[in-house]
Structure 1
Amino acid sequence: MTLYIRDQSVDDLAIKVAKLGKAPNKTEAVRRALLNEISRLEQAEPLEQRVKKIQDEFKQLAGPTRTPFDMKAFRDSLYEDD
């Protein structure tokens, strides 16, 4: 069975992948690309977990908070006339 791609830009990409990957034809190039994408998606770490790691690293770097920051008092101090 041959592979027919209607979109010319997608066809060009398939040809480029076939050449770079030394695939014998476009069908094989597309098959390899799809298998690679499936593998990549299955191994991808969910965004929620990636964000949690970053938050945890930031908490480690920032250290413990001794006193809570009072944003209202800080904002008010910017507008006080002395």
Structure 2
Amino acid sequence: MALYIKDPEVDRLANELVSLTKTSKVDAVKAALKREIATRKGSLPIRERLAKSLKMAREAGPYAPGDHKQEADEMWGEA
């Protein structure tokens, strides 16, 4: 879906960013949005960031200690 914004200030800001970055309006807006998202994600409280990490770890399953190189070699018949 396309993004249409009819706000003179947004247009002015986008044009100013285009002139500073020497890129297209699309690339300038995309970069600005990515920077803002990264900033916001980086400023999430530590509790929320840790909760996301713990969820990912649980989804990945338990850690299986062992010699993974040997297991891979055996799987490929190189042991």
Larger radius of gyration: 1
Ranked by relative contact order (alpha carbons within 8 Å, sequence separation 6 or more), the top structure is 1
Tell me which interval the TM-score lies in, with the shorter structure as reference length. Answer: 0.3 to 0.5
Normalising by the residue count of structure 2, what TM-score does the alignment of the two structures yield?
0.48
State the TM-score, normalized to the length of structure 1: 0.46
